[in-house]
Amino acid sequence: MHAEVMNMATLTVRNMSDEVHRTLRLRAAQHGHSMETGVPAMLQSAVINPWLA
């Protein structure tokens, strides 16, 4: 039996304002996540459900 491997892309964001960075960090923390797990979840939600973003 082989485990399925899921490849994940890496995204680098440059020139983000301190305010946006702080807001992303706070939103992630409010949901019990780090930036590393919270921001991808927020991006995925915004892309899959753009009317909720």
Per-residue pLDDT tens over the stretch 22-40 = 999 999 999 999 999 999 9
Q: Is residue 7 part of a domain?
A: no
- Which of these, 48, 25, 50, lies nearest to 38 by C-alpha position? 25
Q: Is residue 31 part of a domain?
A: yes
Question: What's the total number of domains in the chain?
Answer: 1
Q: Is residue 27 part of a domain?
A: yes
Q: According to the 3-state scheme, what is the secondary structure of 10-42?
A: CCCCCCCCHHHHHHHHHHHHHCCCCHHHHHHHH
Q: Is residue 30 part of a domain?
A: yes
Q: Is residue 4 part of a domain?
A: no
Per-residue pLDDT tens over the stretch 6-23 = 788 899 999 999 999 999
Q: Is residue 2 part of a domain?
A: no
Q: Is residue 13 part of a domain?
A: no
| Residue corresponding to tokens 């939600």 | 45
**Domain around 41:** 19-52
Q: What are phi and psi of 21, to 5 degrees?
A: -60, -45
Say whether pTM exceeds 0.75: no
